A and B are shown apart, each in its own frame.
Chain A
Amino acid sequence: MKATLSIQRGALGEAPRHDAFDIPFEHGQSILDGLRAIRRSMDPSLAFRFSCINANACKECMMLIDGKVDYACTVRLKEGMTTLAPLPKKALIRDLVTEIAPPDERLMSRS
């Protein structure tokens, strides 16, 4: 099976662009599995947040998946096109990464 991930790219202040990646997948694999595979074999510079991979415990991997806020590690890859974009209500950092830390846990908030 083959999934196409259309991903919004770019850092804050740059004009967003969209890159599409075709990836083979097996039934049950997550969007996060797909993103990690892209980094390993196509574009290591693709930025997204994640930590726990399987447990759905860290809650770092939230993004817009086909327009809905969801976890990349629990939504499955599907055949055909899936669009990915950063969270719309958080400050963009780069690609799919946004500022999600509470304000008093950031480097820049107080210094």
Chain B
Amino acid sequence: MTSSPPVISVPIHLESDVLVVGAGGAGMYAALEAAKGGASVILADRSLIGRGGATVMAQMTVAAALGEQTPDHWEHHFADTLAAGRGLCDERLAALLCEDGPQRLREMDAWKVGWAREDGHIKQAQAPGHDRPRCAYVDFLSTGPAVSKTLRTQLNNASGIRRIGDLSIVDIALRDGEACGATALHLPTGQTVTLAAKAVIIATGGLTGLYRRNSASSNMGGDGYALALRAGADLIDMEFVQFFPIGHLAPRLVGMDPIMWDPFRYKLGGKLLNSEMREFEMDYATKDARSDGTYKLTRDLATYAITKEVEAGRGSPAGGAYLSFQHVPEAEIRKAFGPVVDRLAENGIDLAQRPVEVAPIAHYHMGGIRVDEMMQTGVPGLYACGEAVGGANGANRLSGNAITEAFVFGARAGRSAAERAKQGASMWTADAAQPTLDLLRSASKRDAPNPAAIIVKLQAVMADDVGPFRTDVKLRSAISAIAQLKADIGNTPFASAKAFDPVLADWLDLRNMLAVAQSVAVPALARTESRGAHQRDDHLGLDEAWSVNQIVTVSDGDITLRKVMPTTGKAAA
């Protein structure tokens, strides 16, 4: 054991016109467009380039009004998006998503992403909430990997883009209230890095790693929201976290995305059963105040029905519901699942014989960093794109909109950032990195507490008290629990080693996760109504007076909330 400090405090300094933080679909698209706009670009990711986030894991579909399957127009897609958003969408952003979507999907097609085709045209599937078949995909369940690979290839072929993996951005660097770069930690070496840039784009994806059951990668604790908050930017709609009702729960299934059951359920009529092996969805479709009376439960209602069955003591052994295909002939299962049947068999799952267990899992975040239609935040020089941005999807998101959003907003942010870089000189000053360098330098070796265990505690708090169904009591309890965890980790980072130190990485994650958890729980407490993905057991039903967005900011470490009217007017282009 050496006694030298864990972090190498004399930083390496790098410069570029544009810094892109996060290399998922949005960040890779932003880097490509910024370079096209003539900017020199650094594309940094805390994991490997194109591998660390949600994009590479997505298995389903991408929505855009291509009109290949049936005639379509972006305004139809726009209308569906607004309907799902229940009055809270930023119409400019939603319009941009829908209007530019087709162009981006065609560009990906030209780059040979391999959209599934039928009779010579791109095949578009019907998905819930869309008024017609609109969702392109890559077979079999390969949309995300194909998208990532295609963008990585474009990055390889582009000039002017430097890619750096294993580089975790810790803070945005500010000078006179403007973004002038960032401060980072190189994970393999413990080396600090300062990055000067004329424009910085946050493309760090979502926050579902805050929850116990989630579809997140290890890099999805919501870093970007915390970076933006500390830089002085606004967050919007943070209380809207989308839960996917039938995420895989048991038996342990490896090598598969946990949200894989949806298409099969629709195709084969999979049945949701409680511990009495009884179908229960209809109970909620007819009795509950939330029901729209139709048989097919929406995602929100399915989440509600499963949660209530578990609360009533009728959950499956692992704490969810059974999903059964036992009534479906084996040959039909084989036909629908194709090679996936064999992958399931490797996991000891035989759908003709036994049901699996499913439960609602945190899957996507509608809220995020508030931007204008150029993807600029309120902080000059700071941009955001992809899932990190809030507003386009309002209170709930249509399936397939997230990857489209990553492409469209990524491209737009890249272009805007390159424009800014052309106009101005570098604002960089070494002072801008100093507070973060001081923080990292103070990291010290300690035996307890274990930050990996604290993350698990936080995930339990969020799942139990800031989950899909909320109450005043639960939310207040969560807010004080989060404050306690903040006190537990203190202001001095824990560390264990120089090279690839997971203790320091977890502490830095917690610093962000706790800030972000607070920025979800506080507006959730304030919103005394039920709308879209935010459901209050103590305030059933939508309240017209709450047709407003909540904005979260931080001043002197305290969260403040304010209300604004949703942005209307669909001036895209």
Residues of A within 8 A of B499 (CB): 11-12, 47, 93-94, 97
Q: Which residue of A lies closest to B46 (CB)?
A: A51
The count of chain A contact residues (Cβ–Cβ below 8 Å) is 44
* Docked-complex contact B251 and A55, CB < 8 angstroms: no
Q: Of all chain B residues, which has the CB nearest A31? A: B254
Residues from 64 to 103 in A contacting B, C-beta threshold 8 Å: 73-74, 76, 93-95, 97, 99-101
A54 to B59 CA separation, bound complex (whole angstroms): 12
Q: Name the one of B165, B218, B452 contacting A50, with C-beta atoms under 8 angstroms.
A: B218
**Interface residue? B191 (CB, 8 A):** yes
Q: Please name 22 pairs of A and B residues whose Cβ atoms are closer than 8 Å in the assembled complex, sorted by A.
A: A11-B499, A28-B252, A28-B347, A39-B502, A40-B450, A40-B452, A44-B453, A44-B496, A47-B502, A50-B218, A51-B218, A52-B218, A54-B57, A55-B57, A55-B256, A57-B57, A57-B144, A58-B57, A73-B255, A74-B255, A101-B165, A101-B166
In the complex, chain B residues whose CB is within 8 Å of the CB of A27: 251-252, 348
Chain A proximity mask over B429-464: 1 for CB below 8 Å, otherwise 0: 000000000000000000000111100100000000
Q: Taking CB as reference atom, which chain A residue is nearest B348?
A: A28
Interface string of B31-61 (1 = CB under 8 A from A): 0000000000000000111011000110100
| A47 B500 Cβ-Cβ under 8 A | yes
Residues 32-72 of A, flagged 1 when their CB comes within 8 A of B and 0 if not, give 01001001110011110011111111111000000000000
Q: Are A52 and B217 in contact (CB under 8 A)?
A: yes
Q: Which residues of B contact A1 (CB under 8 A)?
A: none
- Please name all residues of chain B whose beta carbon is closer than 8 Å to the beta carbon of A28 when the two chains form the complex: 251-254, 347-348
Per the bound structure, the CA–CA distance linking A104 and B162 in Å amounts to 8
Q: How far in angstroms is the closest Cβ of chain B from A77?
A: 10
Select A94's contact among B52, B219, B257, B500, beta carbons within 8 Å: B500
A45 x B254 contact (CB < 8 A): no
Is there contact, CB below 8 Å, between B145 and A93? Answer: no
Asked whether A58 lies within 8 Å of B52 as measured between CB atoms, the reply is: yes
Chain A residues, CB < 8 A from B186: 107
CB distance from A61 to the nearest CB of B (A): 10
The contact of A30 among B188, B254, B497, by CB within 8 Å, is B254
Given contacts A44-B496, A47-B502, A106-B164, contact A26 B252 (CB under 8 A): yes
| Nearest B residue (CB) for A97 | B500
Q: A28-B252, A73-B254, A97-B188 are in contact. List 19 more A-B contacts (CB 8 A).
A: A11-B498, A27-B348, A30-B252, A40-B452, A40-B456, A44-B450, A45-B503, A51-B48, A52-B218, A54-B57, A54-B258, A55-B255, A56-B254, A58-B48, A58-B51, A97-B499, A99-B188, A105-B49, A107-B166
Chain B residues closer than 8 Å to A111, beta-carbon distance: 12, 14
B230 vs chain A, min Cβ distance (A): 23
Chain B hits for A60, CB < 8 A: 47-48, 51
Which residues of B does A touch, CB under 8 Å? Answer: 12, 14, 47-49, 51-52, 56-57, 59, 144-145, 162-167, 186, 188-189, 191, 193, 215-219, 251-258, 347-348, 450-453, 456, 496-503, 506
Q: Cα distance A97–B476 when bound, in Å?
A: 41
Query: Which A residues contact B (CB, under 8 angstroms)?
Result: 11-12, 26-30, 33, 36, 39-41, 44-47, 50-60, 73-74, 76, 93-95, 97, 99-101, 104-108, 110-111
Report the nearest A residue to B167, measured CB to CB. Answer: A107
By CB atoms of chain A within 10 A, which of B188, B456, B501, B503 has the most? B188
Report whether over half of chain A's contact residues are helix, strand or loop; otherwise say mixed: loop
Question: In the complex, are the beta carbons of B450 and A51 less than 8 A apart?
Answer: no
| Cβ contacts under 8 Å, B258 to chain A | 54
CA distance A45 to B144 in the complex (A): 32
Which residues on the B side are within 8 Å of A105 (C-beta)?
Answer: 48-49, 163-165
Of all chain B residues, the one with the shortest Cβ separation from A26 is: B252
Question: Which A-chain residue is minimally distant from B347 (CB atoms)?
Answer: A28
Q: Which residues of A contact B506 (CB under 8 A)?
A: 44
A67: shortest Cβ distance to chain B, in Å?
21
Q: List chain A residues, Cβ under 8 A from B189.
A: 107-108
Complex: A72 Cα to B10 Cα, angstroms: 35
Return chain A residues, CB-CB under 8 Å to B452.
36, 39-40, 44
Residue of B with least CB distance to A94: B499
Residues in chain B near residue A104, CB distance under 8 A: 163
Residue of A nearest to B55 (CB): A57
Give the docked Cα–Cα distance between A106 and B218 (Å): 20
> Which residues of A have CB within 8 Å of B193?
107
Using Cβ atoms and an 8 Å threshold, which residues of chain B touch A29? 252
Contact A45 B257 (CB under 8 A): no
A98 to chain B, nearest CB (A): 9
* CB contact between A57 and one of B145, B162, B498, B503 (< 8 Å): that residue: B145
